[in-house]
Structure 1
C-alpha cells in the first residue's frame, strides 16, 4: 500500500469522524423530515472548498467575532462572496445550536432574514455558510463613531419596519412558528442598500401551533432581555417583542442599550426611555416619531400580555 493511499484513507476517516461528531447524521435525518422538498435545504460544502475560499481562514478575512465563533469573508471558485461562521469549540451544546440554526434557516424564506447557503461538517468544528451581507450590523451603523454619517429618520423607520416584518413572519407566517430569542441590533445585518437582515438563529426555538411559551434556562443579552422571561423562565412571542422594543428605542435615540455614562437609573436604555416617556421629557417635532415612541413604550411593557404582537407592531409601522 502506497504512503499516499494510507494518507488519503486516514484523512477520509478523520473527515467521517468529524462529520459524525458535528451532528451530521442527526442533521441529515432532521433535514429529510422537512416537508417542503422544493426548498433548497443548504449545500454540503467540502472543507477544502471553504479553506481555499477564506485563504486558509486568514485573519485578514475576519468580519466579526462573538460568543459562538468567528465569521470570515470568503469567495467561492465561481466568484460568489460568502460569509462563513466557524464555531469556537465543539461540545454537545454547540452542536445542538449548530443543528438548530441549520434546521430553522432551512424552513425560512424571507427577504429580511439572512439566507443560509450551506454548511460543512467534515472539519474539526462545524462551519455555516451564509449569503454575504456587506454593510455590517445595525449596532455598528447606529453606534460606531467612526462611521460618522447622519442616518435619516426615514431610513431608520424603514429598517424598523423590515425587522418587524421579519419577526411577524417568524411568529405567524413560517411553516412552524419560531421565537428568535436573541433579537438585538448586533444580530441585524445591513445589505448593500442598507436593508435589514435578521441573523443568528443558534438559540431560536420552533414551537407547535398550540404552544404559548417555551420553558427554558434564561438566555439572552443584557439590555435586551425580557424582565418577565428573566423572572419566570418562560419565553413567549412577547419576549421577542420586548427585545424588538429595545432595538426600536435604539433606532429612535441612537443611544446604546447599556451605557455606563448615563446616571444609574438610566444605564439600561429601556428603563431610561420609559422614565423619559412617563415624565413627558421626550417630545419630537414629527408626529410620526411620537407615534413610534408610543409603540416602543408598549413593546417594553413589563407585563407581556399588555405588549402588542409582532404582527400588530409590523402593521403599525407599515
Structure 2
C-alpha cells in the first residue's frame, strides 16, 4: 500500500470519526466520493473494513488490523518528509519558535526580526499551539524556544524565565461599566459569563473560585477558542475571564475593557522555555532574553 495513497488517508479519517459524512466534511469532499473510495479499497484488499450502521460506521476485525498498519505507514511517511525537509535545508540556520495564539500577533514577529538581525538566521519557523503541544514539540527537538503559559519544570524542558500575567474580567461597555481598578470573581457574577473549557490550564482554578462564591453564576457558554469568547464579549452577550495577553489588541482598539482580578490564585505564568537536554548556546540565550523583554513590553496595561 503506497504511503501517500489518498484512500489510506481517507480510511484513517473515517475510522477516527466513525462517520463517512463527518470525515467527508473534514476532508472537504463529497460523502458519495468518499464511500466510493472505501468500496475500491475494500475491493482491492478483498476484505470488509467497515460495518455500516444507521448512525455511522464501525470497524470490522480486519478493519482494526488494517487501521493499526495504516497509522504506522502514515507515521513513517511523516518521518520521511521531516527527514527530507531537514536534508533539503541542511546548511540553513533556522530559528524554530513556538508560542500560544495570544502571542502570535505582536511577540513572535518582533522576536523573529530581532533574532534574524542579531543571530543571522536564514529564516524562522513558527508553531502556534497550546502549552502541552508546544512542550511536546520542544522535548522532541522540533522547536528551539517556546513561549507558553504555566509550563512545568522538568529535566527535558528548561524554563529560562517566568513573568506573572494578570487575569481579569473582560466586558463590553455596551453590557456594563466597571469603575474599580480591580474586581473579585464574585463581583463579576451579576452578568452572563462565557468560560474557556478544561483545555485551558486556568479552568480548574477558576471553576473552583466561582463555586466558592455565594452567588450563583449564569454560564451562558463555554469554548476552547479565545477568539470565540472575545467575539461574544465584544458583542455584549456576556463577560469573561481572560489574561491581558488574550485581549490586549481588543482593549487597545476599544472593543472590550479589561479589569484585573484581585483573586491571587488566578494569576498565570508566562514561561519562556528551551530544551533541557540541548546546548543553551549564545544565539538561543539572546533569543530568550529578547522574548522576555518583549513580554515585559507588551505586559504594560496602557
Give the TM-score taking structure 2 as reference length.
Answer: 0.27
The structure with higher relative contact order (CA 8 Å, sep 6+) is 2
Rg larger in structure:
2
Higher strand fraction (1 or 2): 2
